[in-house]
Structure 1
């Protein structure tokens, strides 16, 4: 083997070792904190936010109150998601974590959706939830479900479609931690049938094996 071949092999080996780090959801911080602000003010741009001058940082930058309060669920799906992320808790910037409170009315649900940048771990604070997620195409689109009661915990792997539905006789509430400061959310029905501009109904009709008129009716609902 020539010296050039050995050098190429060494480079490829190094890339193979570093690739898992390069595709991580949120990079690891290289300082104690980087409180996010939206204006430069001589700050450094990190993870979509500028860093606040550390000398001006206070405890309030890491604090948010009111998550104990129930939220209204008067919408089509009967649930309300209250997010705690870098946009309303600036101290989360670069820390790779966020939180949500989810309120469910009777028969309410958090409809099928994904978080493209985060794994989610859900804790049931009150009520009974039927939850589940579906694996990717390569894993056979397997469905994993579980009925959860107060105090139970369930994990939804990063990027997979998942859902929760209130199957109890009273309102329910859950709290979930996510492994990104800004996990993102893609609600399947809204994304497919409510895109702007709308996806050609003939494309969706073929994908879902439905009549185009039914697709247009679904699009009108979203």
Structure 2
């Protein structure tokens, strides 16, 4: 073997040894920080953003960040309905995980009006029945009287609602594909704003008197 070739082989071996050493250091470093990257418990004192909250420092994370007891107790339905959220603002441990929950409680006659979650799909698990449905983008209606133990899914962004037609309270648990699902209620979007009533009339085909009445009830102006 030529002397130059032997030198080249040794040089290549040294390069591979260096690369292996760097890989080993990276692996050890990644393993030592695994407990940090497993989760990102929300630092609720920090800024919120579309990507979520910043992470708490590991030393400040406790088991309480991963436990939320607020859904165990029924909400106050004095105002017909009650929604108890377990979003990231109440449940820091879900930060960055793309999931959250809520509890719905409806008094007899309670209605959760047409609304949508633009950034999340919703799965509803019924514990005491009510009617629920959604409308597709093709204006097809999917309506069902739901009973205890049944599950219904509401695709992301579609208008949906719940109505308790029974003479007893009803409730359900809801899961969202977001840690902080957005909410837009159709009635408020139409009548709790400051758009001129004449413009709302043009875009909804409702009578002007009806629009002004609804604006008065929901706090809109114009």
Q: Same fold (TM over 0.5)?
A: yes
Q: Which portions of structure 1, spanning 4 or more consecutive aligned residues, are displaced by more than 6 angstroms?
A: none
**Once superposed, what is the RMSD of the aligned Cα atoms?**
2.0
* Structure 1 Cα separation of the partners of residues 44 and 144 of structure 2: 41
Corresponding residue of 2:15: none
**Residue 35, structure 1, aligned to residue 41, structure 2:** yes
The gaps in structure 2 that reach 5 residues or longer are 1-35
1:163 equivalent among 161, 164, 186? 161
What pairs up with 1:48-59 in 2 under 5 angstroms?
48-59=52-63
Equivalent of 2:77 in 58, 73, 82: 73
| Counterpart contact for 1:204–1:215, Cα < 8 Å | yes
Q: Residue 49 of structure 1: SS of its match in structure 2? A: coil
State the match for 1:132 in structure 2.
133
TM-score (ref. length: structure 2): 0.77
Aligned-partner Cα distance in 1 for 2:116–2:76:
23
Q: Per-residue displacement from partner, 1:28-70 (whole Å, max 9, x unpaired)?
A: xx93111111345xx9x88231210123211111111132211
- Please state how far the C-alpha of 1:211 moved relative to its aligned partner: 2.1
User: What is the correspondence of 1:94-173 to structure 2 with a 5 Å cutoff?
Assistant: 94-126=96-128, 128-136=129-137, 140-173=138-171
The runs of 5 or more residues in structure 1 that have no matched partner are 1-29
- State the secondary structure of the residue aligned to 1:64: coil
Match of 1:187 in 2: 185
- Deviation string 1:199-222 (CA, Å, 9 cap, x unpaired) is 111111112212222211110110
CA separation in 2, counterparts of 1:38 and 1:71? 24
Distance in structure 1 (CA, Å) of the matches to 2:40 and 2:150 = 33
Q: Is the 8 A contact 1:39 1:50 kept in 2?
A: no
- Count of residue pairs the alignment pairs up: 183
Corresponding position: 1:207 with 2:170: no
Work out whether residues 70 and 86 of structure 2, in 8 Å CA contact, stay in contact via their aligned partners in 1: no
Superposition TM-score, scaled by structure 1 size: 0.77
